[in-house]
Amino acid sequence: MSNSTTRVHELNLYRQYFELVSSGQKTTEVRVKYPHLADLAAGDTIRFRIKGTDETCDVNVLRVTEYPDFEALLDGEGPANVNPTATRDQQLTNIRTIYGPEKEALGALAVKIELVAS
């Protein structure tokens, strides 16, 4: 029986992160606390897409935790959960390349995810 109240959020991912999510290696997604993500909650589904392609991957949201910035997020969640292929410092640099200081100032969200079995 399906849950008709499950909300599906569609979000884009870069290929390198998509591959980590779709293989089950990446268990925490990092996002800026944008207003359109304010209602993201445990029990929701995220459909990740590689922008400009039909490649998608669905995950269940297990938990959403707010942090003041990306450093606090990596320290709180553990870098290996965010990206098991990069060091904490590499991840911080990569995240800040994607999201500039004005975006980080909005706050950071750690989204604990679990791959949906296909």
At 85, which CATH number? 2.30.130.30
Question: Nearest Cα to 60, choosing from 18, 93, 34, 21?
Answer: 21
Distance CA 97, CA 12 (A): 16
- Would residue 2 count as lying in a domain? no
The yes-or-no verdict on residue 2 having pLDDT over 80 is no
Residue 117: per-residue pLDDT: 81
Distance CA 12, CA 46 (A): 10
Half-sphere exposure of 79 (CA within 13 A, CB side): 12
Q: To which residue do tokens 């553990």 refer?
A: 78
Range of the structural domain that residue 109 is part of? 8-115
Give the number of domains in the chain. Answer: 1
Whole-prediction pTM value? 0.92
- Would residue 33 count as lying in a domain? yes
- Would residue 3 count as lying in a domain? no
- Would residue 88 count as lying in a domain? yes
Distance CA 9, CA 5 (A): 13
List, for residues 53-83, the tens digit of each pLDDT value. 999 999 999 999 999 999 999 999 999 999 9
